[in-house]
Chains A and B, each alone.
Chain A
Amino acid sequence: MPPDALLSPTPHMRGVDQMYFFALDLTQTTIDGLLFGSTYALVAIGFTLIWGLLRILNLAHGVTVMVGMFAGMLSASILGLPFYVGILIAMSSGAFIGFLIDRICYRPLRNAHELVPMIATLGFWILIEEVFIKIYSHFWFRDYVPFANPFDGIGIDIGEIRLRTDYLVTLAVAALLVVALYFLIYRTRLGLAMRMIAEDHDIGNLMGVPVGKVLTIAFLLSAAYGGAAGYLLGMTANLAGPYAGSQAVVKGLFSMILGGAGSIPGAIVGGLTLGVLELQSSFLFSFAYRDAIVMLALFIVLIVRPQGLAGKRMADRI
């Protein structure tokens, strides 16, 4: 295929060319969607961990994404630290926020109705975001700040399909974190304790599991994953903005419900599916209907499989 042919305007293409480009773009869009969706999956895992253990929606999870993004931006763009150090800093910053969420929104309210801590996380989210926006606007005179992306402009070409390196790195980090989480849950005593608590807190208590400590660790872990997602979202977009948390909450919750609430495989499937759905609906139909199509897909899934794409019908906690 001569290079110029790749630039042929759609209306003037011959039928064969049109088919060829359609198939090419369909494949490229699917791959981009899967790769981009891995960040959604990471956000969804954070929601899933807390939902699986406590049956509360931690609406403050978006704050961990935002803080992770800015910690990453500071480490990458201002301090010039390498990628892997930046990710660790972002995760640690996220974990610190997770600790605060546990101490402020959950622990003091753990005996209250389950809606109460959820509302507390909502309040925490709004409070922190508003305060952060004020501080941000004081220091930065603009909507976004640059986030150094060491992989920008680099890609792997497979024929005419291009894989963005930063998207591949995102997928790799997400996969590594998922494997680590699986190891922790299914191969360690802590994981055993988590699984026990997920079934019943009282039984866990009777069996001598320090429920409070395990839940704190779960908050730290969930928030660290949020911090990692924040770093990756900022890096792939080349910028950091104070509203990243709000956007992440919507995408993360959607991914969790689509994949199956409380299921880690579900969070992964949900995140990747959302990535593909968003891009393919723009490609195949129109951007104007993107969100409507995605919502329609969610309704259909919930009607056909109320437990989500990868969730189990009963007791599908961690």
Chain B
Amino acid sequence: MSKRQKAEFQAIKAFGLAGALAVTLSSAATSPARAFQDEGTIILCSIEPLSGIGTSFGQPNYLGKVIAVDEINAEGGIEVDGKKMKIKLISEDDQAKPDQGVPLFRKCAESDNALVITGTQYSRVTESMWGLLQKKLDDPKDGGLQVPSMSFLSMKAGVTGVSEWAFRNAGDEPAQHELAIKLMEERYGPFKNYSGAVEANEGHSVAAWKAAYTPALDRRNIKATEYVEWYETDRDFSVQIRKLKRANTDFFILSSHLQANVGAMLEAQRQGFKPKTIISHIGSDAAEMVELGKQSTEGIVFPTAIHMAFPAPKVKWLADEYKKRTKETYMPQFVGLGYEGIMIVKEAIVKAGIKNRPETLAADRRKVRDQLAAIRDYKSFAGMTLNMNANRDIVRPVYLVKITGGDFKLYWTPEKGFLF
């Protein structure tokens, strides 16, 4: 072996050793957190996409949770068994990948011994993670995980049907879109040609088209004049936009997320495709829509659960806190849903009367689960009253947002109707 080869061999060896050390350290960092429960900490897990595809949804949602946890802990924590206990929020990044989310979910349940697992955001990941849960309560033949889990975002219709341990605080999407279509028809109709574009590799977008938009069109005896698909990673949308334009689309349903929406709308602008109305879903609620899309995304309308323009003082406080922590100028609804979700979980924990000891973990989880299922007339920080329905979906009012003047403006509320 020459001197040079020896040096290279040494370099590789050192690299290998460094890798082994890194693996050891990371294993140590993710070792079971059981001790925390004995130290007076309530463990909650938070799984969302914090990097890669989905960052726009995951990061704001996570920050909303962190703000809530900080607030609860600043007040001394939650009273459990006569003692104040602080919340320990364990954060995991699923990168919007089901194969990453599933082991993280298992880790949260089995190694971290989380009382509740919150997350995740992308329906395809949530559905895969919840596949680990016991499907029916008290089924002795089902050895699935028994830990309450609540997603504050996954929009795919019926996603909580996977397990009776699964809950969601994201709204009733079919009802949201029915309302959006109805209101737009009343204001700008009649329309001649309804067309749709679907992000074909994204479970939520496909489900929204099939379970929300298509039934809404069926109820009107309307068949989509044109239907096109694309992927979130696509960069050329010329064919799809041309087809929509040729179809003389005047009511455009954009069942797609910002990753593709921006490119598609820029192409629409290039081709001069400007329908009278464009409605979209929660996937459009991201700053990129206006920052990257600029003029091309003007006029898009989508439903929202919580908006920073709500009059409740706590919403303004949350928006200010979010802006202070991130330097962002716009607070998407995921922040509010994250914050609100943790507060809902807190109330369930308080009402459940848990012991928070290692030996009572299974019983504590069940008590919290039952409290989540029983949520009635919960007063949200945003001002509305929330209820859990039989499908374990929180029922909440719908509001509409419109992209106007390079910003997201609250456009319609149940109380005041159209605001502009």
Instruction: Identify the A interface with B (CB < 8 A).
Output: 7-11, 21, 25, 28-29, 32, 36, 107-108, 133-134, 136-137, 140-144, 146, 152-153, 155, 164, 233, 236-239, 241-243, 247, 278-279, 282-283, 286-288
Contact = CB atoms under 8 A, between A and B. Distances in A.
Contacts of B236: 32, 36, 278-279
Contacts of A241: 259
A146 B262 CA distance: 10
Contacts of A137: 50-52, 55, 59
B196 interface: no
A119 to B, nearest CB: 13
Nearest to A280: B239
A8 B95 CA distance: 43
A164 B239 CA distance: 14
A11 B11 CA distance: 67
Contact of A7 (B225, B245, B259): B245
B328 interface: yes
Given A237-B235, A288-B229, A142 B287 contact: yes
B239 A279 contact: yes
B52 A243 contact: yes
Given A36-B236, A142-B286, A287-B230, A9 B59 contact: no
A287 B200 contact: yes
B326 A153 contact: no
Contact of B53 (A9, A11, A107, A243): A243
A9 B246 contact: yes
A9 B239 contact: no
Given A108-B12, A236-B235, A238-B266, A287 B55 contact: no
A141 B55 contact: yes
Contacts of A28: 238, 242
Interface string B233-249: 10110111011011110
A21 B245 CA distance: 12
Contact of B239 (A107, A143, A283, A288): A283
A301 to B, nearest CB: 22
Interface in B287-328: 287-288, 291-292, 326, 328
Given A142-B288, A144-B288, A146-B292, A134 B51 contact: yes
B269 interface: yes
Contacts of B55: 137, 140-143
Contacts of B9: 108
A237 B259 contact: no
Given A137-B51, A143-B259, A239-B292, A286 B239 contact: no
B258 interface: yes
21 contacts: A8-B248, A9-B193, A9-B225, A10-B246, A29-B242, A32-B238, A107-B8, A108-B11, A137-B50, A137-B55, A140-B55, A142-B56, A143-B53, A143-B55, A143-B259, A143-B286, A153-B270, A236-B235, A241-B259, A283-B243, A287-B240
Contacts of B54: 143
B246 A143 contact: no
Interface residues of B, number: 48
B263 interface: yes
A239 B238 contact: no
Given A153-B270, A238-B292, A239-B292, A144 B259 contact: yes
Nearest to A284: B239
8 closest pairs, A vs B, by CB?
A137-B51, A9-B248, A108-B8, A287-B229, A237-B235, A282-B239, A283-B239, A133-B51
B325 to A, nearest CB: 10
B228 interface: yes
B270 A133 contact: no
A134 B49 CA distance: 12
Contacts of B262: 144, 238-239
Contacts of A9: 192-193, 225, 246-248
A143 B326 contact: no
A287 B227 CA distance: 10
A137 B236 CA distance: 25
Interface in B181-226: 192-193, 200, 225-226
Nearest to B262: A239
Contacts of A237: 235, 263
> Which of B55, B228, B235, B236 has the most chain A CB within a 10 Å cutoff?
B236
Given A11-B225, A143-B258, A282-B240, 11 more contacts: A21-B246, A107-B8, A133-B51, A142-B55, A142-B56, A142-B287, A143-B54, A237-B235, A243-B233, A279-B239, A288-B229
Contacts of B263: 237-239
A32 B240 CA distance: 13
Interface in B46-71: 50-56, 59-60
A149 B239 CA distance: 21
Nearest to B197: A287
A164 B270 contact: yes
B56 to A, nearest CB: 5
Contacts of B56: 141-143
Given A143-B54, A287-B200, A288-B229, A233 B235 contact: yes
Contacts of A140: 55
